[in-house]
Amino acid sequence: MKKLLNTLYVTTQGAYLAKEGETVVVKIDQEVRLRVPVHTIGGIVCFGNVSCSPFLMGFCGENGVSISFLSEYGRFLAWVHGPVSGNVLLRRAQYRLADDQEYSAQMAKYFVTGKIANCRTILRRALRDHSEKMNDDALSQGVSTLSSSLKSLELNQTLDAIRGLEGDAAHTYFAVFDNLIIAQKESFAFQERNRRPPLDNVNCLLSFLYTLLVHDCRSALEAVGLDPAVGFLHRDRPGRPSLALDLMEEFRPFLADRLALSLINLKQVQDKGFSKTEAGAVMMNDETRKTLLVAYQERKREEIYHPFIDEKVNIGLLFHVQAMLLARCLRGDLDGYPPFIWK
């Protein structure tokens, strides 16, 4: 089994990353603040005004360590990685199958099934564990509607119909999402999903966590030899990591949404950690961002049982496991793609 490696997140503005021997060095105001052996990290994510030496970028590329550059508030800017890995025949199969509408619809069905099933589990667990603090009727109705969506997916659906079902299910899920917030209700009220920019604290949290998911899914796909830009559910668009977005669908509720709810309900993030610009966009401060990054990294170290491979794995390795299963599916070694469904 692949070893779970840490991701190095650099948030200090003005930081400079360089190569010294086999280590990544982080300097702030010419002073070395951190040394990390490159073999202990799986990726580097830089937020805002953080720069890297060309030698470090080349060194990381040679060692399979990707570097992502994001704005200070989490918007993706660029990605640096080494030579394309994997079998060229696998990528040829991926491109050929992505052009097949019937096959794309089947693959999209797998991704959407994983997402809707995990959304339903979020609601079911909330009813089981906190029913006295929540609107039982709304959550029960949400579970019922999502179950109907899953049954509809079992029918032979076109790609556009599957995308429509996914959109309807997302609307159902987020319509009751506010019921899952049981603390700090005034500061973290949720009405609807919005982004680019997020207009409230909850959406700000979700958008940031989804950005981290994209980075991890993209890296996992590259590691097994797939092209993150050519997907099945998400349409191709220049600069868009469509397959990474496909893969992350099953992880949105299980990893990102759960973590956001935990941070809010346990009061690990608070209203003072957010601010609103004149244009209405909500931004988080450095302290809140670091809290999220630490919590995300800690959550990835937790273990969970994977029903398909029948063993416990670190949550952070799920991206690699699912990318590996996806590659096997596209090669024809598996009859279909088994999404990770949380029970």
Q: Are residues 76 and 105 in the same domain?
A: no
Q: Could you tell me if residue 336 is inside a domain?
A: no
Q: Are residues 44 and 133 in the same domain?
A: no
Q: Could you tell me if residue 342 is inside a domain?
A: no
Q: Are residues 58 and 134 in the same domain?
A: no
Total domains in the chain come to 2
Q: Could you tell me if residue 343 is inside a domain?
A: no
Q: What is the pTM of this model?
A: 0.83
| Domain limit, last residue, from 80, 97, 115 | 80
Q: Are residues 263 and 155 in the same domain?
A: yes
Alpha carbon distance 11, 19 (integer Å): 18
Q: Are residues 272 and 234 in the same domain?
A: yes
Q: Are residues 149 and 20 in the same domain?
A: no
Which tokens in the block code for residue 124? Answer: 């079911």
Measure CA of the first residue to CA of the last residue in the chain; give whole Å: 23
Closest C-alpha to 109, from 166, 28, 58: 166
Note down the domain range covering 122.
88-331
State the pLDDT at residue 266.
92
Q: What is the pLDDT of residues 111-164, one digit of tens each?
A: 999 999 999 999 999 888 776 666 678 888 989 999 999 999 888 789 999 999
CATH number of the domain encompassing residue 41:
3.100.10.20
Alpha carbon distance 147, 120 (integer Å): 7
State the pLDDT at residue 340.
93
State the pLDDT at residue 5.
62
Q: Could you tell me if residue 11 is inside a domain?
A: yes
The average pLDDT across 288-301 equals 90
| Domain limit, last residue, from 80, 107, 130 | 80
Q: Are residues 51 and 163 in the same domain?
A: no
Alpha carbon distance 40, 84 (integer Å): 21
Q: Are residues 131 and 232 in the same domain?
A: yes
- For residue 52, the cross-strand partners are 17
* Position 310, amino acid: D
Q: How many CA atoms lie within 13 A of 338 on its CB side?
A: 15
